[in-house]
Amino acid sequence: MLSFWKLFCEVKKGFIMSEAVTIDTIKNILTKNVNKEYSLSREEAIAIMNLPEDDMPLLMEMAGSLRKKYKGNHVSIHLLTNARSGNCSQNCAYCAQSCRSKAEIEKYKWVNDEKLYSDNAFVHDNHLSRHCIGLSGMKFTDEEIEELAEKIRVMKAQGTHLCCSIGFLTEKQALMLKEAGLDRINHNLNSSRSYYHNICTTHTYEQRVNNIHMLQRLGFEICSGGIIGMGESKEDIVDMLLDLREIQPEALPINFLLPIPGTPLENADTSVLTPAYCMKVLCLARLMAPQSDIRCAAGREVYFKGREKELLSIVDSIFASGYLTADGQGISDTIKTITDAGFTYEIESD
């Protein structure tokens, strides 16, 4: 197997241009990247994805120095509430809530207010970073958006930072939420432009990109990332991260596939998702979007078990208490994981 350093010679046209590229040359490239003087090319990013496990320490050191430079010693904890569950018209292959999913999940139009506001108060009272509100579906009526806007007003009055994952909005609807106090929206790319049709055919990758650009134009912060382990290639991961680098999201969540029974990807081969492979993806995300909050989202508890300190040296954001339709590490254990690794998590309350 070629070493990481020789792989960096595979530039421009995919062949070995020189055997003389030294480790010092590569250190210089990564150091420039750390200092924001240099942006990794597609070829260099692919070489990182082909990095042998024995050559990981330098990559982790460089990615870790970026994490420390921009995020210090803090880990943002996010709590996710599934505010609308199931009955989605879209056919995303990974999702338990999609129209082609046979997964046994709870379905409802709105989670009860007691649950929503209790979760929100929990985020505030425990000094967590943000309350994330997930709603299944692609499109919403203006009346539904006004209902959500009223809930946002109540939650903002409690002093929490919010983010909504809410499919596709019209400009009018986005402004309704902005006027209610929402300042961040999640809309993931999920995969690369060339691979996207393999996981969803009811809307396009370009629609997602256009929706994000519209939201940015209206002044929203953006949370956007992807899912690893759906059969995509290393090149697909790089291409997705290149597009995310162009978007410059405030938060960049990376999910590692948790195959859900009843979904088209229930039998997906996740053997590629070794701790080293997953760490490479997160390091590359840090190198390509150094100032974004890099979040290890779904799959953290499965693919990084026992390696939490290493993980938190690269990422600065995680979820606690589960995901939309999957369980996760409870809040107390999450806090212990963070503090045992020598990091802090509390934020100042508004």
User: What string of DSSP letters covers 220-274?
Assistant: -EEE--EEE-SS--HHHHHHHHHHHHHH--SEEEEEE----TTSTTTT---TT--
Quote the tokens at residue 180. 């209610």
Please check whether residue 11 lies inside any domain of the structure.
yes
Q: Is 88 annotated as a binding residue?
A: yes
88 and 39, same structural domain?
A: no
Q: How much is the pLDDT for 20?
A: 31
Q: Is 218 exposed, middle or buried (0-12, 13-18, 19+ CB in 10 A)?
A: middle
pLDDT, residue 6, reads: 42
Query: Does residue 150 sit within a domain?
Result: yes
Question: What residues pair up with 85 in beta bridges, in sequence order?
Answer: 108
User: What per-residue confidence (pLDDT) applies to 55?
Assistant: 81
Angle at 67 between CA 62 and CA 71, to 5 degrees: 160
Do 240 and 310 lie in one domain? The reply is: yes
Q: Please, which residues bridge with residue 190 across strands?
A: 226
Rounded mean pLDDT for each run of 10 residues along the chain, 350 residues in total: 40 33 54 66 88 86 92 94 84 80 77 94 92 91 97 96 95 98 97 97 96 98 98 98 97 95 91 96 95 93 90 93 55 87 76
The answer on whether 278 is annotated among ligand-binding residues is no
At 26 the pLDDT is 54
Tell me whether residue 223 is annotated as binding: yes
**Full domain range(s) for residue 50:** 4-57
- On whether both 52 and 77 belong to a single domain, the answer is no
Per the structure, how many domains does the chain have? 2
What is the spatial distance between Cα 76 and Cα 165, in angstroms, rounded to a whole number?
18
> Is 200 annotated for ligand binding?
no
Instruction: Report the CATH number at residue 142.
Output: 3.20.20.70
Please check if 163 is assigned to a binding site.
Answer: yes
- Do 14 and 95 have their domain in common? no
Q: According to the model, what pLDDT value does residue 22 have?
A: 41
pTM comes to: 0.88
How far is residue 193's CA from residue 165's CA, in Å, rounded to a whole number? 20
Q: Would you state the pLDDT for residue 101?
A: 65
Question: Annotation-wise, does 9 bind a ligand?
Answer: no
Sign of the alpha-carbon torsion through 24, 28, 29, 31:
positive
**Co-location of 233 and 273 in the same domain:** yes
pLDDT attached to residue 3: 41
